[in-house]
Amino acid sequence: MSRLSFLRRPARYCAGLAVAALLACSPRYDWRTIQSNEGGYAALYPGKPTSAARDVAIAGRKLPMTMEAARVDETLFAVGVVSLPSDDAALRAEALSAMQSGLLANLGNAPTEPVQTRAVTVMSSAQPPVALQGIEIRVAGVSPQDKAPRRLTARLVAKGTKVYQAVVLEAGDAARDHRQAEQVEQFLAGFHPF
């Protein structure tokens, strides 16, 4: 082996290690603020969200619901918005209750831990921000579909003709411990209705 080829080999080896190190350091979470003018909110997502829409049954009516969600491994970060036909406090309350029941139904009828609820303040994106009273729910269970563990953390809040749910649904290994607690809180705290 010539002396020159010996010198080139370590350079290629080092270049390969450098590329591997850069790939290993690439972030799993690519945080970005997304504004939904249609949904009436801004949210901090850990990746580029996808959108979906469907009707949901609330108070005997079918109401439109939009959803934007991003997935990182086995964890879903989503914001759902139900649009009400009028700015009606009673209908907002019914919608909040129906949305909470729907979220809990995703974990089946037998949560593995008691449902935890607490009052939270969600700040609007207005300048200056307006404090909105909401509720946070946390529950762990087993998916009725695939029997895998799930943990759901959500904040629900209503304003005017919009009812919102900011949701983190952890599955599999992510639902067994709290290694993503910081990311869950970052997503929920980064949600702001208009």
Flag whether pLDDT at 5 surpasses 60: no
Q: Is the omega angle on the peptide bond into residue 27 within 30 degrees of 0, that is, cis?
A: no
Flag whether pLDDT at 25 surpasses 60: no
Beta strands in the chain (DSSP E): 32-36, 41-45, 50-58, 61-72, 75-83, 116-123, 131-142, 149-159, 162-171, 192-193
Banded pLDDT at 24 (limits 50, 70, 90): very low
Mean pLDDT of 77-95: 96
Predicted confidence at residue 14, as pLDDT, reads 38
Predicted confidence at residue 109, as pLDDT, reads 63
Flag whether pLDDT at 186 surpasses 90: yes
Q: Which residue has the tokens 């974990």?
A: 107
Mean pLDDT of 25-46: 88
Flag whether pLDDT at 2 surpasses 80: no
Q: Considering only residues 104 and 188, tell me which one the structure prediction assigns the higher pLDDT.
A: 188
Residue 68 and residue 36 in contact, taking contact as beta carbons nearer than 8 Å: yes
* Residue among 110, 161, 168 at smallest CA distance from 137: 168
Flag whether pLDDT at 171 surpasses 80: yes
Predicted confidence at residue 107, as pLDDT, reads 76
66 pairs with which residues across the strands? Answer: 53, 81
Structure tokens at 92: 């907002």
- Helical residues (DSSP H) of the chain, grouped into ranges: 3-24, 89-105, 181-189
Structure tokens at 161: 């003709």
